[in-house]
Each structure stands twice: as structure tokens, then as C-alpha cells.
Chain A
Amino acid sequence: MTPRRPATPDAPDHPVRARRSDLKITQAELATSVGVSRQTVSAVEGGDYAPSVYLALRIARALDTTVEDLFAHALDSGETT
């Protein structure tokens, strides 16, 4: 099943979105560099989809950071359940 969590309007920016914004990269550009669709990047940033280890590594590499920095918060918030 596709991992999901309910959207919360006052939730802080997902670290992927925040990091991408810092680097001034569009969703489409990030999607192309990691080899997924723009909708998938949007789903990751929206917390609707928890990526596999391999995709998480590719995203972290594309954003020049670590998987822990981008996805460790999900463990605390229970995003992947």
C-alpha cells in the first residue's frame, strides 16, 4: 500500500520542499534529476508518499544533503505508517 499520512494545514514544510526551495530547484527539475515524475516529488513533499531507500538516497544526493536530514522527521511524526 502506498504510505500516507493525513494532510495537516498547519504542518511545517517538508524538509525536501524546504531544501529544494533553498536551492531554487523546481519540482520538475528535481523529478528529472532523480528519475521520477513531478507528481511523485509533489507527493513526497506533501507527505503522501514515503519513498524507498533508493529514491530517498537519490533525492538526498540531488539536494546535496543526507537522507536523515530529509526524512528522519517522519519517524517522529509517524509519517510512514
Chain B
Amino acid sequence: MTTRKPLFDRFADSVMNLDSPSYGDERERAVFMEASAFAITVSMMITLGIGLVAATLGLLLLPATMLAITFAPSLALSVYAKRKGVDITELASQASKRQQITVSVLIFTAFALTMLAMLWTMYFGTGLIDVTFPDVAGDGSPGLSGSVAIGALVGGALGGLGQFVAMRVKRRRA
């Protein structure tokens, strides 16, 4: 009788595809995983930073989204590790006191400042830094949010094209 893996494990397997040869050998895989951890840390810091800046500019939805997004990788990390028998909180408790305090203070400060800035906006109706976004496109334009969406699409397409070309060049050289 074959037992089917739980949904989370199947999802993680399909996302990670750990048997893929694209991970390289064991050292390359280890370095790739270190790089992934570094990238996640950086992206979480950027996300927190964007949330804080957006909150001070008087936005509410964007910082709230950024704070929520920050939880997603943490949650995924914790659940994934737990299913593999590794307790992240137990590991974190083994870090030096200084490192624990530094990380806790940084994260708590970012969260607290963002929340305070959002509360300020809700209470006073304007951000800590009052910025009026100029309508540089004029009438008949898609507006700021539309322009951002179009910019993201064009940027994403160009980025994808660049990645594709880079992979082709690398494959040709190999």
C-alpha cells in the first residue's frame, strides 16, 4: 500500500524540486541554500523597510501588506523545518544573547515604528511626512497605480527576457 504525502509536503516538494540536477553537487547545493537564506533575510529587511517608509508617507494598505508579507517566509520556514524534525525556535535560542537581543530589537523596532506611523495616519488623516504624489501623466492616463502596474509588467518582462538570454549564453558556453 502506498501512502500519499500530506498536501504541505507535496507542495514543498513541487516548489523546491530538491532532486533537480539544477542544484548541482552537494557543495553547490549547500552554497545555494546559504545564498537562499541570505536572499530571504535581505528581502525581509527590504520588505520591512518599504513598509516603514510607506507608513511614514501616510499609506495604510501598503505597509499593512508588507508586514503581512514578512510573516509568510517566517511561517513557511518554521513549518517546513518542524515537519523535518528541526525546531527553529530551539535553534534560535542557542544563538548568543547579544545576537538574540540585536535581532529582536531590530525587528520589534521596525514593526513598532510602522504601526505607530500607521496609527498616526489613521488618527490625523495624514502621514508623518506629508507627500502629495504629483499627477505627472495628465488626463487620459492610467493614473499612478496604473502606471506602477504597467511599469512592473514591463520591468518584469525585461527582467525575464534578460534572465532567459543569460541562461542561453551560459548554456552555450558550457
Could you tell me which A residues sit within 8 Å of B by CB distance? 1-2, 35-37, 39-40, 43-44, 49, 51-52, 55
Q: Which partner residue on chain B sits nearest A48 by CB separation?
A: B27
The tally of residues in B whose CB lies under 8 Å from a CB in A reads 8
Q: Are B34 and A2 in contact (CB-based, < 8 A)?
A: yes
Contact B25 A2 (CB under 8 A): no
Closest B residue, CB atoms, query A40: B27
Bound Cα distance from A44 to B31, whole angstroms: 14
Given contacts A1-B34, A2-B27, A37-B28, 18 further A-B contacts (CB under 8 A): A1-B30, A2-B30, A2-B31, A2-B34, A36-B25, A37-B24, A37-B25, A37-B27, A39-B27, A40-B27, A40-B28, A43-B27, A44-B27, A49-B27, A51-B26, A51-B27, A55-B25, A55-B26
CA distance A49 to B25 in the complex (A): 12
Complex alpha-carbon distance, A18 and B26, angstroms: 23
A-contact bits for B24-40, CB 8 A (1 contact / 0 none): 11111011001000000
Q: Which secondary structure characterizes the binding site on chain A?
A: loop
- Nearest 8 Cβ contacts at the A-B interface: A36-B25, A40-B27, A2-B30, A49-B27, A40-B25, A52-B26, A37-B25, A43-B27
Binding site for A on B (CB under 8 A): 24-28, 30-31, 34
CA distance A35 to B25 in the complex (A): 8
Quick one: closest B residue to A51, CB to CB?
A: B26
Most buried by A among B24, B26, B28: B26
Q: Which residue of A lies closest to B25 (CB)?
A: A36
Q: Which residues of the other chain, B, contact A37 by a CB distance below 8 angstroms? A: 24-25, 27-28
CB distance from B30 to the nearest CB of A (A): 5
Q: What is the bound-complex CA distance between A44 and B28, given in angstroms? A: 12
CA distance A37 to B29 in the complex (A): 11
Enumerate chain A residues within 8 angstroms of B31, measured Cβ to Cβ: 2
Report Cα–Cα, A37/B34, bound state, in Å: 18
Residues in chain A near residue B24, CB distance under 8 A:
37
Question: For A40, what are the chain B residues with a Cβ–Cβ distance below 8 Å?
Answer: 25-28
Q: Which residue of B lies closest to A1 (CB)?
A: B34
**A43 / chain B contacts, CB cutoff of 8 Å:** 27
Chain A residues, Cβ within 8 Å of B30: 1-2, 49
